[in-house]
């Protein structure tokens, strides 16, 4: 083995060792890409002309299913294989799709951008590797942002009294919370939520449960009156209509009742679900009020199939909504004394027939 080959092996081992903290299972794709990295590194010192470098770019990009012609100008060849190793080591599988949406993933220096962002979101925000794989796959631009920008947003959320758990929840549901403009977009919405007499802790509760508020347009159309009012107020109006008349609650108390539901569309989600609970399950407003979380369940894939299954067994009047809708399929079936497979078969057939 030549001295250069030995140094190369040491280099690859050191790179892999550095990435080991993220790597859970090095698959065949990782191994084959690693071999290309080694082969490239062997010839790296001898690549002096643009043509030779272009051939290597094409070879590495083709390995992960990308069209080289789309990336000729944007990628620094030395960064490309190392960034690919990093992305695969943290669990990103569909490289061609993810990089296709965000080419800068392989143009940034992973040591000064991708890796610091990954560590920061894992250590300071509490996101797990599984969380980050999903986030980076769907929102790859997040991990390419300047690390100081991510830190600025993290500190901003901390100053809003977000706990680490609340930050994790907010970023998981709306990753762009770490990218929105703080001054022009986030702070005005914080001020709006505070206008309901919420203190800092209560504001953090509402915004972490419904982080999409940070990205809302400040006003949405009220179809009933043709007025332009903020969506939060439309949600409060829905709750006031649903609330049993003997319960007295002000806007602040209503907002804190179940803030996660603010994210749902009233016309297409909340109202149809409430109507179905009333008509099919014969639930009263009091029943629904006591179990508001049920309004967040999927009507077409949870409420309707379960009701029709109960009806097919002549038991649609036997249970209260909390007893029969909150549990998982496994517990639901144990209550009815049937197998999960039997219900799943019924559910799949029902959904297919209804063409949901």
- Choose the weakest-confidence range: 144-153, 237-246, 346-355: 346-355
Residue 34 lies in a domain: yes
Residue 46 backbone phi and psi in degrees, to 5: -95, -5
pLDDT category at 19 given cuts 50, 70, 90 is: very low
What is the DSSP annotation of 245-297?
Answer: TT----HHHHHHH-GGGGGS-IIIIIHHHHHHHHHTS---HHHHHHTGGGGGS
Instruction: Establish if 127 belongs to a structural domain.
Output: no
138 Cβ contact partners less than 8 Å away, ≥ 6 residues apart: 175
Residue 229: its pLDDT value, please?
Answer: 66
The two three-digit tokens of residue 199, written as one number = 């203190």
Question: What confidence tier does 80 reach under pLDDT thresholds 50, 70, 90?
Answer: low
- Residue 101's domain comprises 1-107
Task: Count CB neighbours of 209 within 10 A.
Answer: 20
Q: What is the pLDDT of residue 110?
A: 80
Contact present, 215 and 180 (Cβ < 8 Å) = yes
- 314 within domain boundaries: no
pLDDT band at 292 (very low <50, low <70, confident <90, very high): very high
Is 148 inside any structural domain? no
Digit-coded pLDDT (tens) for 27-42: 445 555 556 555 555 5
Greater pLDDT, 263 or 300: 300
In the prediction, which pLDDT does 12 show?
Answer: 46
Contact 270, 293 (CB under 8 A): no
195 pLDDT exceeds 90? Answer: yes
**Angle at CA of residue 271, ends 270 and 274, nearest 5°:** 85
Residue 76 is assigned to a structural domain of this protein: yes
Distance CA 71, CA 302 (A): 45
| Structure-token pair, residue 235 | 């949600």
- pLDDT digits over 22-79, tens only? 444 444 455 555 565 555 555 555 555 556 555 655 665 565 555 555 544 444 445 5
Taking residues 85-92, what's their average pLDDT? 78
Residue 21's pLDDT band, with cuts at 50, 70 and 90, is very low
**Is pLDDT of 238 > 80?**
yes
Q: How do residues 315-355 score in pLDDT, each as one tens digit?
A: 999 999 999 999 999 999 999 999 999 999 999 999 998 87
- 281 confidence band (pLDDT: 50, 70, 90): very high
Q: Tell me the C-alpha distance between 285 and 110, whole Å.
A: 54
Domain count, the chain: 1
For residue 268, pLDDT beyond 70: yes
Band of pLDDT at residue 133, cut at 50, 70 and 90 = very high
Residue 116 has pLDDT above 80, yes or no: yes
Q: pLDDT tens digits for 206-224?
A: 999 999 999 876 665 555 5
Residue 189 within any structural domain of the chain: no
pTM over 0.85: no
200 alpha-carbon distance from chain centroid: 25
- 243 within a domain of the structure (yes/no): no
User: What is the C-alpha to C-alpha distance for residues 137 and 115, in angstroms, rounded to an integer?
Assistant: 15
Whether residue 247 is predicted with pLDDT greater than 50 in this model: the reply is yes
pLDDT score, position 79: 57
Please check whether residue 211 lies inside any domain of the structure: no
Burial of 337 (0-12, 13-18, 19+ CB in 10 A): exposed
- Percent of the chain clearing pLDDT 90 (strictly above): 59
- Residue 200's alpha-carbon distances to 18, 193, 203, in angstroms, are 41, 10, 5
The overall average pLDDT reported for the chain is 82
Bridge-partner residues for 220, per DSSP? Answer: 229
User: What pLDDT, on a 0 to 100 scale, did the predictor assign at position 38?
Assistant: 56
- What residues are paired with 222 via a beta bridge? 227
């Amino acid at each position: 083995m030549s001295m250069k080959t030995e140094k190369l092996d040491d280099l690859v081992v050191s790179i892999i060792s550095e990435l080991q903290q993220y790597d859970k299972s090095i698959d065949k794709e990782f191994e084959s890409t690693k071999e290309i990295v080694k082969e490239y590194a062997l010839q790296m010192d001898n690549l002096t002309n643009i043509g030779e470098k272009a051939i290597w770019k094409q070879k590495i990009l083709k390995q992960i299913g990308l069209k080289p012609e789309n990336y000729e100008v944007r990628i620094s060849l030395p960064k490309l294989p190392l960034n690919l190793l990093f992305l695969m080591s943290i669990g990103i599988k569909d490289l061609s799709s993810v990089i296709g949406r965000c080419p800068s993933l392989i143009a940034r220096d992973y040591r000064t951008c991708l890796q610091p962002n990954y560590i920061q979101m894992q250590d300071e925000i509490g996101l797990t590797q599984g969380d980050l794989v999903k986030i980076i796959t769907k929102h790859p631009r997040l991990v390419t942002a300047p690390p100081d920008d991510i830190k600025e947003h993290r500190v901003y959320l901390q100053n809003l009294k977000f706990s680490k758990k609340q930050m994790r929840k907010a970023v998981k549901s709306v990753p762009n919370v770490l990218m929105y403009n703080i001054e022009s977009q986030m702070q005005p919405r914080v001020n709006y939520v505070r206008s309901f007499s919420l203190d800092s802790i209560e504001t953090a509760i509402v915004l972490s449960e419904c982080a999409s508020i940070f990205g809302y347009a400040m006003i949405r159309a009220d179809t009933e009156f043709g007025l332009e009012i903020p969506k939060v107020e439309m949600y409060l109006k829905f709750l006031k209509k649903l609330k049993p008349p003997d319960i007295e609650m002000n806007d602040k108390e209503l907002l804190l009742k179940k803030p996660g539901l603010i994210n749902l569309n009233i016309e297409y989600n909340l109202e149809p679900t409430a109507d179905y609970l009333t008509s099919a399950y014969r639930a009263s407003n009091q029943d629904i009020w006591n179990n508001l979380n049920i309004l967040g369940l999927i009507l077409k894939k949870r409420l309707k199939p379960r009701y029709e299954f109960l009806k097919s067994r002549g038991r649609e009047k036997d249970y209260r909504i909390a007893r029969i809708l909150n549990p998982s399929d496994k517990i639901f079936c144990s209550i009815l004394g049937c197998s999960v497979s039997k219900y799943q078969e019924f559910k799949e057939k029902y959904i297919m027939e209804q063409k949901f």
